[in-house]
Structure 1
């Protein structure tokens, strides 16, 4: 589809796809809820890494109000089969809102249920097998309310920290004692903590992530009861180190790489994506034994939260965790609160159902493998 191609989504609503970049950047600047994964640079990086194409859509309403939907299309043999905002592993998509007029009221940048209904109705008409939207967790309400009958709802539970009280207040009254004690104990290990922008010349954090992620694959395979060959194959297909390197170079200052080192050895890395009022704790890797010994993850999280608060970030997104899981409890130590939201998929074939069945089968096989291994070790 050429940038000049225009369609009609509803009475009086004009659609341009791909979305013109000037309109996209204007919406990014106007929408106080915009996040780094909704930028054109993120979409370009996604397309370069996965071979998908820019299918973003600009909706111009009769009153001049504009909606921009970052969207990518997957092609098979040259034919589009899916359009998603965004595919699994590529973070939050969803709509950016521009009021369409200088001096418009702040409420005109608030995403509404009607906005979401308009976009979902337009996506439902697309000639593809599946369309999908993974909204920012804090903007999930209107999407869930607007979901049409038959939409596949994929529930998620995110953990989000409100930084508005300021870091000093968070440290003294919000963080659990576990955090403060761990940070103080970590001081005796004389950790070297580095903060680098993604396109910085040194790239120490990016290289440390690749090293630590490679170490983590074996640990995760053991925890899940997966055969090592399967874990290696999944890790190779996802190529998280390559993804981090590409995103860091593409986003530059919007990608902050925090790394902790002990006696020259990398201990832990946190990759944070930052734009406007939002920061996203995107990916992390660590040397499990050394991180437990030095308590480096507590230090990295505190430093990243302190820096974000000082730079005017209001919301720090710590990612998704299962209810009651150890990761969720850990995030709660820092004051993270759960936010329930849903990804939405419109499917002409039951792809999500098939994917869930496959995941259940893998989980059962992994559990059986774990039990067999436990009996052998005993």
Structure 2
């Protein structure tokens, strides 16, 4: 379907109408991927199709064609209930980064404003843009008043120069020590998505759910229910089938027992550390996670990847410190949300209540009758 939008009245270069086609034609989508060196795995049509098939989304991608012949293509996923479209997001939380693919370089400020203007006018409860963290500042700078900014902390590793340079100049001494320790262990390491990775991931994920329940003082049945809703194992199994060579996996075993699994997504010059699972005790003892991350980064360098996205963490957390140990550079960024109802504020309140309940559960679990 083709529609027409008008840029904001403040635009200088785009006083004429902008044509929008949705869903975006797949042949143009392929051209946009090939022409954008920053294209991400989560911006591919395979990613969209996979999420539509397995998570109930609808392809709402939009192709913007400007008067000067420039084209931007925005991967966009819609959530529908009872036939009513509720949200349109690029990308929904937990499903990678979005933002437009740009043919011929970065969009001009006016072209970027036209995209945000279009999202702000969408007849849904929420539309959102979660761009690549390193590009986020440019989008935030032109966002209109009233937009909801959701802050995150990501870590990004620059692989320029190849693995030896990354290892020697970006890994900290603690990272190198962990890898040396891992190499002394009787670990068996397998690479590839067909090397029993789903079975190993399922077992490690099961152990992790039980560990989290104990740590939080949470009933095991509730922890398992939350895990079933997240369906990390099912996501991995279906992604291997749907995404093919984009999925790269590494698995470590100790005496035949799975210790750690790392799964990354590759596309062009970008890689994204997607899923991981470990046996906390065995991984701490053997440093298997350090070895897998090192091998993962070495493979990315050999594949021509320039930027490795290490994902989001809480500032100052152990996870954030771990990423920095291996050269990850912290990048503060914000997702932009246009909301007709205060959905983000409501979500924050629900999370706060859940956190208080979890703390209460931990207190009760640790109480001693006197």
Equivalent runs, 1:165-176 vs 2, <5 Å: 165-176=161-172
- Pairing partner for 1:330 from 314, 319, 322: 322
Equivalent runs, 1:121-270 vs 2, <5 Å: 121-196=117-192, 198=193, 202-270=194-262
2:275 aligned with 1:283: yes
Q: Is the 8 A contact 1:111 1:139 kept in 2?
A: no
Q: Is the 8 A contact 2:129 2:335 kept in 1?
A: yes
Deviation at 1:346, TM superposition (A): 0.7
2:59 aligned with 1:51: no
Give the whole-Å Cα distance in 1 for the aligned partners of 2:369 and 2:182.
34
Deviation at 1:213, TM superposition (A): 1.1
Q: Is the 8 A contact 2:183 2:291 kept in 1?
A: no
5+ unaligned residues in a row in structure 2: which ranges? 7-15
DSSP 3-state at the match of 1:322: coil
Deviation at 1:110, TM superposition (A): 1.6
Distance 1:226 1:150, change over 3 A: farther
2:306 aligned with 1:314: yes
Deviation at 1:8, TM superposition (A): 0.8
- Pairing partner for 2:101 from 96, 100, 123: 96
Distance 1:116 1:226, change over 3 A: farther
Distance 1:147 1:73, change over 3 A: same
Q: Is the 8 A contact 1:7 1:16 kept in 2?
A: yes
Deviation at 1:249, TM superposition (A): 1.4
Deviation at 1:377, TM superposition (A): 9.2
2:75 aligned with 1:70: yes
* Residue 104 (structure 1) aligns with: none
Give the whole-Å Cα distance in 1 for the aligned partners of 2:326 and 2:195.
28
Q: How many residues align?
A: 361
**Normalized against structure 1, the TM-score is what?**
0.92
Q: Is the 8 A contact 1:111 1:142 kept in 2?
A: no
Give the whole-Å Cα distance in 2 for the aligned partners of 1:84 and 1:158.
19
Give the whole-Å Cα distance in 2 for the aligned partners of 1:225 and 1:121.
46
Give the whole-Å Cα distance in 1 for the aligned partners of 2:75 and 2:112.
14
